[in-house]
Amino acid sequence: MGRVINIKEAQKRAEGLKVVDKNAVKTTAYNDINLKAWREYGHIKTDTLWEFPSRDREHGHSNEYHGNYIPQIAQQLYERFTKENDIVLDLFFGSGTSGIEAINMHRRCIGVELKDELAEEVSKKFTPKQLVTDVNIICADSTSSVAVDKVQARLDIMGRKKAQFLILHPPYDDIIHFSNKKEDLSNCATTEEFYEQFEKVAKNGYDLLEKDRFAALIIGDKYANSQHIPLGFECMSRMNKLGFITKAIIIKDVQGNERAKGKTANLWRYRALAGGFYIFKHEYIMVFKKV
């Protein structure tokens, strides 16, 4: 026996109107993935080892800014943890990868960037209309209450009380110095100071993120003073202390994105053999949920 058709549905069919089968789509509260058709999403990664042969340089992306994360990370995270028109908050906006991919995937983005000259340059990647409706770039110190107030004001204008996804891609301590500003986390005098400043940024992100939504930390470790410094796990611990729960620790292969080749690579191999350490070939993508 076929399923029973109710009176309203029968009337719609009689009038030639389209009848929507409510059972045809099943999504979560935080993405648009149709779980009824889950086999169609083979491009979405669900394991904890991510390998990309090269950086995506199309659809508005480029690699002129050393230290930005690759667009494929945003693509994966946005599809898993956001819906169309959701707002992504990036508190280390940099060269704008988060905003570019938000446009590409019909999301919106608020980015906070410390360097005013970089914020001005990155804004050129977007149209005037996009800068009004879809991407807001704020020049501020992400550890400050001023940044929080500015983000909250933008959220109000965009019709949301909180952001729906948070991205944190901080400097990896002092490995690369991004500016001469004392507020820049890459200029912290000690690694402990780096952790403390990162925690302030993460706290602001936590407060600005909607409950039961997700955050991602993109970070690598460093080697200093003849020892491995686990930046990623300490930053994860700081986020847990704030109230985030850890949902996943993803290992991303960075070999396809390396700049050092030839003689430089050989030099690091020699140093590794001489110093008893191993050369980093990965970074972390840590996924959290605000509960």
State the pLDDT at residue 221: 96
Separation between Cα atoms, residue 278 and residue 19, nearest integer Å: 61
Which amino acid, residue 74?
A
State the pLDDT at residue 1: 44
Separation between Cα atoms, residue 188 and residue 108, nearest integer Å: 31
The vertex-151 CA angle with 149 and 156, nearest 5°, equals 95
- What length does the chain have? 291
The vertex-191 CA angle with 186 and 193, nearest 5°, equals 80
pTM of the model: 0.87
State the pLDDT at residue 260: 46
- The closest of 257, 279, 259 to 268, measured between CA atoms, is 279
CB neighbour list of residue 54: distance below 8 Å, 6 or more residues apart: 256, 257
pLDDT, tens only, 31-85: 999 999 999 999 999 999 999 987 766 655 565 655 679 999 999 999 999 999 9
- The fraction of the chain above a pLDDT of 90, given in percent, is 80
CB neighbour list of residue 235: distance below 8 Å, 6 or more residues apart: 170, 195, 198, 202, 217, 219, 286
In this predicted structure, which of 8-17, 45-54, 143-152 has the lowest mean pLDDT? 8-17
Query: What mean pLDDT, rounded, does the chain reach?
Result: 90
pLDDT, tens only, 93-134: 999 999 999 999 999 999 999 999 999 999 999 999 999 999
Say whether pLDDT at 147 is over 70: yes
Separation between Cα atoms, residue 215 and residue 82, nearest integer Å: 11
Stronger pLDDT, 277 or 63, i.e. the higher one? 277
State the pLDDT at residue 12: 56
Say whether pLDDT at 90 is over 50: yes
Q: Which CATH code for domain 38-290?
A: 3.40.50.150
Which amino acid, residue 26?
K
pLDDT, tens only, 162-213: 999 999 999 999 999 999 999 999 999 999 999 999 999 999 999 999 999 9
Q: What are phi and psi of 290, to 5 degrees?
A: -90, 120
State the pLDDT at residue 242: 98
Residue 224 pLDDT level (bands cut at 50, 70, 90): very high
State the pLDDT at residue 53: 84
In the chain, where the domains are located = 38-290
State the pLDDT at residue 116: 94
Stronger pLDDT, 33 or 263, i.e. the higher one? 33
State the pLDDT at residue 50: 97
Q: What are phi and psi of 252, to 5 degrees?
A: -110, 125
CB neighbour list of residue 258: distance below 8 Å, 6 or more residues apart: 265
State the pLDDT at residue 58: 66
Separation between Cα atoms, residue 177 and residue 184, nearest integer Å: 8
- The fraction of the chain above a pLDDT of 70, given in percent, is 85
Q: What are phi and psi of 284, to 5 degrees?
A: -110, 145
CA dihedral in degrees (49, 54, 55, 58; nearest 10)? Answer: -130
